[in-house]
């Protein structure tokens, strides 16, 4: 997480702890400038998250995408090699470097 500032790291840890404690989320990956800068929770052993085409599409579009039944979507192949095998849903949210800035990661 050292590619982002210290305050961003603290906030991302807070986000993960909030999600983990108040939802059924079991994994969280943060990509910034197409690189994985945070990985928290459950993942396939010895596998690193990869920023692939669907992530690029979401960032370019600038809108959050929620996939409730991941198993029914072809894009599952872009995530299930590093997320838990039985991952049911996926939420992708583009991040901005500052308020009113275009999505960057």
**pLDDT over 90 percentage in the chain:** 75
pLDDT of residue 38: 92
* CB neighbours of residue 30 within 10 Å: 21
Of the listed ranges 38-52, 61-75, 90-104, the least confidently predicted one is 90-104
Task: Check residue 27 and report its DSSP letter.
Answer: E
pLDDT of residue 14: 94
Query: Which helix H or strand E contains 64, and what residues bound it?
Result: none
**Distances from the Cα of 78 to the Cα of 6, 7, 17, 18, 48, angstroms:** 30, 30, 25, 26, 12
Query: Which helix H or strand E contains 4, and what residues bound it?
Result: none
**Which whole number is the average pLDDT over 9-33?**
93
pTM (predicted TM-score): 0.83
């Amino acid at each position: 997480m050292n590619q982002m500032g210290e305050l961003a790291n603290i906030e991302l840890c807070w986000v993960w702890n909030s999600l983990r404690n108040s939802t059924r989320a079991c994994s969280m990956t943060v990509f910034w400038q197409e690189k994985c800068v945070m990985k928290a929770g459950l993942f396939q052993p010895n596998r690193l998250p990869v920023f692939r085409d669907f992530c690029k599409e979401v960032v370019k579009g600038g809108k959050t995408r929620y996939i409730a039944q991941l198993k029914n979507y072809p894009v599952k192949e872009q995530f299930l090699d590093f997320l838990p095998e039985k991952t049911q849903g996926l939420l992708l949210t583009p991040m901005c470097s500052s308020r009113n800035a275009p999505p960057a990661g």
